[in-house]
Structure 1
Amino acid sequence: MTDWITTPIDARILRGALELERTERGLLPHRLPAPVRQRYPDPRLLMAESQPSGVRLVFRTAATAVELDVLPTKVVYQGLPPRPASVFDLLVDGRPAGRAGVDGGNVRTIDMSAQTSDLTPGPHGTLRFDGLPGEPKDVEIWLPHDETTELVALRTDAPVEPVPDRGRRVWLHHGSSISHGSAASHPTGTWPALAAARAGVDLVNLGLGGNALLDPFVARTMRDVPADLISVKLGINVANTDLMRLRAFAPAVHGFLDTIRDGHPDTPLLVVSPILCPAQENTPGPLMPEFEGNRMSFRALGDPSDPTRLTLTAIRDELARIAEQRTAEDPNLHYLDGLTLYGAADFDEVPHPDGLHPNDAGHRRIGERFAERVFGAAGPFAAREE
């Protein structure tokens, strides 16, 4: 019988979350602070920020077995087949060492057409990894990027301590569902996680599915988060929600960047435009889901003849113009065309399954290219000798 040691879960062993909420069952990691959640209680925003993309338990231990009690909230889309089970990734000394899921949990049923959801409560489950090496090692358990997960209890068969500071730079990133990790099959397979692993940096992922909307509260959040490197991948959610016209877009981008600069005046700051999405390259939103049997895709409904409406082509042009304008006074601001990460040739080779979100192969391609172009020796986030 295993002699378990229970370790309190707190900020010392949890990375990637901005806040921990005490619940009836345990702790709920959040990626936006409480004042934001209270002022802007939009259900889609609250669901996205509570899904712990990039959040992981990180500790040092000689344990050969680890158990984690969790309460997941699984998402089911009305009229579509059940989504693949969300999983937890285990890393030992930075290398993949296991993957597992849990049974039980709450179930949130979403009707995409009606934009409604219902929650059915359920029991917590237990995640177990065993057969680990018996010597001291760094252990990381990455939480599911697309499934709200309350942390109930952590048990090991040897003591746990926080991992000491290894001097890794902190990369703060904000983007849409693609940055959040939609359609990736596991949490370390999202493109930001892949890029962070290749670059050897600590990721704080503020990718918010459907909610990269130039909201001032996100910029203020980023302003206040300690970071060595910052990137913002902007545009596609503004287009597919048909949120604003061209006249409003540029001031909103400037205001967003100004706010980040209030807290990070000299930090390398990268603006990234959208990757390819054929449905919206030259057609404005709104973007609406369409169902063909068990398959969901998306169609843009806007008028392409209206020059005031935002397409992805117009957004890339405007972001490039804004970046060029600002770099005259801000040499630490940089721009990256999203088509260099994933363009037309990539869509031919590894198309988005739903026309909008990349699959694992797409995430891998984007992450590898981002690491090379941004963290590489000639990139804006290259490590510089002091």
Structure 2
Amino acid sequence: MRYQNVELHNVCDLIEDDGGSGFGILRLPRHILAEINPGARNMARHGAGCEIRGMLADGGQARVVLRAVDRNTTPPIVTVYHGCFCGQSVHLGKEPTEIVIQPPPTLPVLSRISLAHKLPFDPRLVRVRLPNIHPVRIEAIAGDWTYPPREALPARTMLSYGSSITHGACAIPPEGTYAAQCARRLGCDLINLGVGGSAQMDRAVAEHIASRHDWDFATLEMGINIRQWPREKFRAVVENFVGIIAAAHPDKWLFCIDLFTNDADFEDQPTKGVGFREIVREVAGQCRSGKVVHVDGRTILTDPTGLRTDLVHPSDLGMQEMGANLAAVIARRL
């Protein structure tokens, strides 16, 4: 969405009426929040995939003031990119943190590299990438920003829906999620709609994705958050969720990912999510468009040492493998 003279990428609505200073952000529209599960409603406030974007004039300067609202085991890190190149990494605190941004002295070289390698982002585009798993208050955006033109951005956009794994719960930098790693390898922009602990495939979320026309292909990670559900219930929500999106976009590729490698895969007699992978495969195979693809999550995260000790969430190394493997799967179809 446009805010003054910058783009708030991956942001649908602002939170300005809660009595706090500055404003918060929502990755889902405010009008659907009452129709989705409470966990997803809360996770929509997190910054996964969200960026403050603007062009910075030669010799100009910009500033943003940000504040992390909460704390968890993953630190709230902001990275500042100039196109595809990282220039700063900043640890946010509960008190406002000012980030001053200037064009790097190497900008002419970065421009030549970007042109020679056909990089997807213009290096004159400043991208302030917000923490994945934290709500952030934006206290101020000021300076010599101008609104980014379309040609400064990638030609294609990937949309990713899923659990905390897609959301990026244990990815330390904003660009560390498997979805961001995948989009980078494909030269695409990213819309991250991961909702940690809450990927219940709400109908309102499916209808929202179906109503959007700003994405070119999508990944839908389904199953890990509802492993305790009966198989019949899981099948019904997967059929509904995928069906709504596929019907609205029959010409777009949908990559339906079942459960990534997880703790149940190391049990002799697993009790969680039994049969879920087969259900996702069957639902994807039944879609008539021919553009719905099943992806076995075990083929995306193959190395068990890419998991953290809970054996559910990938580490930064695991995220890197997942991004590379998923990009290879998608590239074969595009």
The TM-score with structure 2 as length reference comes to 0.85
Helix, strand or coil for the counterpart of 2:169? coil
Aligned residue pairs total 312
- CA-atom RMSD in angstroms: 2.4
- What residue is the counterpart of 2:318 in the other structure? 362
**2:127 aligned to which of 134, 140, 153:** 140
Helix, strand or coil for the counterpart of 2:192? strand
**1:321 aligned to which of 279, 282, 287:** 282
Decide which structure has greater helix share.
Answer: 2
Distance 1:364 1:100 in 2: 21
**1:48 aligned to which of 30, 43, 51:** 43
Residue 312 of structure 1: CA displacement?
3.8
Deviates more, 1:61-70 or 1:228-237: 61-70
Flag the structure with larger Rg: 1
What is the CA deviation profile of residues 9-35 of structure 1, one whole-angstrom value per residue up to 9, with x for unaligned ones?
458511112222334522322111112
Q: Is the 8 A contact 1:281 1:312 kept in 2?
A: no
**2:136 aligned to which of 146, 149, 158:** 149
Q: Is the 8 A contact 1:9 1:154 kept in 2?
A: no
Residue 41 of structure 1: CA displacement?
6.9
Q: Is the 8 A contact 2:246 2:289 kept in 1?
A: no
Percent sequence identity over aligned pairs:
22
- What residue is the counterpart of 2:16 in the other structure? 22
**1:233 aligned to which of 221, 232, 240:** 221
Residue 94 of structure 1: CA displacement?
1.1
Distance 1:314 1:259 in 2: 23
Matches within 5 A, 1:1-386: 9-10=3-4, 12-23=6-17, 24-40=20-36, 42=38, 44-61=39-56, 62-63=58-59, 65-76=61-72, 83-105=73-95, 124-129=96-101, 132-133=104-105, 137-156=124-143, 159-166=144-151, 168-226=155-213, 227-239=215-227, 242=228, 244-279=229-264, 304=271, 311-326=272-287, 329-343=288-302, 346-347=303-304, 349-374=305-330, 376=331, 379-380=332-333, 382=334
Distance 2:91 2:231 in 1: 44
Structure 1, unpaired ranges of 5+: 1-7, 77-82, 106-123, 285-302, 305-310
Q: 1:150 to 1:11 in 2, by over 3 A?
A: farther
Residue 281 of structure 1: CA displacement?
6.3
Distance 2:142 2:203 in 1: 40
Q: Is the 8 A contact 2:74 2:170 kept in 1?
A: no
Distance 1:193 1:127 in 2: 23
Helix, strand or coil for the counterpart of 1:178? helix
Distance 2:4 2:176 in 1: 25
Helix, strand or coil for the counterpart of 1:232? strand
Distance 2:8 2:90 in 1: 19
The TM-score with structure 1 as length reference comes to 0.74
Distance 2:92 2:165 in 1: 25
Q: Is the 8 A contact 1:231 1:270 kept in 2?
A: yes
Q: 1:163 to 1:247 in 2, by over 3 A?
A: same
Residue 39 of structure 1: CA displacement?
4.1
Residue 352 of structure 1: CA displacement?
1.9
Distance 2:268 2:199 in 1: 19
Q: 1:84 to 1:34 in 2, by over 3 A?
A: closer
What is the CA deviation profile of residues 55-98 of structure 1, one whole-angstrom value per residue up to 9, with x for unaligned ones?
0111111356432112321224xxxxxx3531101111211221
Distance 1:206 1:85 in 2: 20
Q: Is the 8 A contact 1:64 1:132 kept in 2?
A: no
Q: 1:63 to 1:22 in 2, by over 3 A?
A: farther
- The letter for the 1-side match of 2:224 is I
- The letter for the 2-side match of 1:22 is E
Residue 373 of structure 1: CA displacement?
1.8
Residue 130 of structure 1: CA displacement?
5.0
Structure 2, unpaired ranges of 5+: 109-122
Distance 1:32 1:152 in 2: 21
Distance 1:320 1:334 in 2: 8
Q: Is the 8 A contact 1:67 1:129 kept in 2?
A: yes
Helix, strand or coil for the counterpart of 1:195? helix
Decide which structure has greater strand share.
Answer: 1
